[in-house]
Amino acid sequence: MAFQPFLPLVALLCSLVAPPSSAVPSLHPVVLVPGNTCSQLEARLTDEYEPPPASGCGVPRQGRGWFRLWDNFTALQEDLSLFRCYADQLRLVYDPPAGDYRNVPGVKTRVMAFGTTRSFGFNDPARKNVCMEGLVEALERVGYREGMNLFGAPYDFRHAPAAPGLASRAFSGFSSSLRLLVERASRRNGNKPVVLVTHSLGGLFATVFLDRTPLRWRRRYVKHLVMLCLGVGGSPLNMWPLASKPLASNPTSLQAAVLTYGNRSFASMFSLLPSPRVYGRTPLVITRDRNYSADDMPEFLAAAGFSGDEVARYRTRALPVTLSLRAPLVPMTAMNGVGVLTVDQLVFWDGNFSGKPQLVNGDGDGQINLVTVLALQRLVGADPDQPYFKSILIPNTTHKG
């Protein structure tokens, strides 16, 4: 029989939420937290917005209410030039007095349909199974219903958790909303605790959320954390889009804009960089003159054209979050693909980061390296206070599979 997408995950969830002897399954509520770029964003432009010179961006939209900013496949099909406008409007700027990131002046944004899974559906056919839309359909086939026992927690993927004591208004707002959603989902389902299911970057958001939530609350409201496609310690692959400043300033599509140009302004751009705790002195970027390891990340960022202030924000905002990741202290299952070529090292032999690197591959799911999955097993499995942990490796399965 051909492999059915989502079958291992759905079987796992069924085993968690309904006892095998139950004639009528009593499903525990599920809250889905999607991966990077899998939450849809809306925007509204005010008169304060100043589009790039000669771009034509913003003029038709100013004063006309909310519109789809990410990901607007239909509008881009009608006018491909819009992607430069959307890329500019997706940018973040750092506000030193506030100590936090914000939209460019004149751009207001919001996450679509928090609390539901509607934000996971994209009108781009190519993205249907990149995010959680197919998983939602699979869960509905086994009895889940939107708004009754199936919920979604989309987030603004441009932002990220910051080190304790530093401002991150977007992540704080997400955390408050997620806590209320979990409590509401539990009440709506006879006070049953909730199963959190995350994918990729959503796992980082969820684990930091849990770590900053009182243990008594976690034990009351979270039955199980199911974390898909994430280890601890980031990936060398994420160093590639940050390396190329020329590509970042001249994207060829909205996807490229988000992964390069946009990423250089996003607070989340540093969140999944390789962690010194996992990679240490292992060379990750190799040039003729010198190598860069996770321990050398500040030097790599400087060589890639980041300013001293930006490098300082990596040190003070993102790195402490990476280094402080720990067991969630609620029952947890991690599911990861293996057996797929995954970038272990990037070789820019002539030191020209604007070119395409030679890739040195190892094992993983195509994005998440096996070494970080093994680090997750050690981190969570070795914690004596972790009530339950299981790591499931699925052969020949990609990050999006």
- Residues tagged active-site: 200, 365, 399
- CB distance 334 to 197 below 8 Å: no
Amino acid at site 8:
P
Amino acid at site 285:
V
The 150-152 sheet, strands edge to edge: 150-152, 30-33, 194-199, 222-228, 332-338, 389-395
Amino acid at site 330:
V
* Segment (H or E) for 211: helix 201-211
Burial (0-12, 13-18, 19+ Cβ within 10 Å), 291: middle
Give the closest residue to 40 by CA, choosing from 90, 102, 79, 5. 90
251 Cβ contact partners less than 8 Å away, ≥ 6 residues apart: 83, 84, 87, 257, 260, 261
Give the closest residue to 399 by CA, choosing from 368, 375, 372, 377. 368
Going by DSSP bridges, is the β-strand pair 41-45/67-70 parallel, antiparallel, or unpaired? Answer: antiparallel
Q: Where are the alpha helices (DSSP H) in 261-368?
A: 276-279, 297-303, 308-313, 319-323
For 46-84, give the DSSP string. -TT--PPTT---STTTTTS--EEEET-HHHHHH-TTHHH
